[in-house]
Structure 1
Amino acid sequence: MELHCDPFRPGDDGGHRVTARKAESWDAFWAEVQGADTETIRGVEVPIPTDVPLALEQRLKALESEDSEEAIREMVTLLFGEDVLDQWIANGMGLMEFKTVLAWGMAHATGTKVTFREAYDTVVAAEAEEGKAPNRAARRAASTPRSVSTGGRSKPTSRASTTSARKTSRA
Structure 2
Amino acid sequence: MGTFPFKKNKQNKTNKYNQMKHAILEFEHLIEQFPTEVLAIPLVDLQHKLSEEKWSKKEILGHLIDSATVNYLRFIKAQFQENPQLFYEQVEYCAGANYQETELTQLLSLWQSLNRQLVFLFHTIHTRNLGDRLCNDQTLAYLIEDYVHHFKHHRAQILA
TM-score (ref. length: structure 1): 0.23
Q: TM-score, normalised by structure 2?
A: 0.24
**Greater share of helix residues, 1 or 2?**
2
Larger Rg: 1
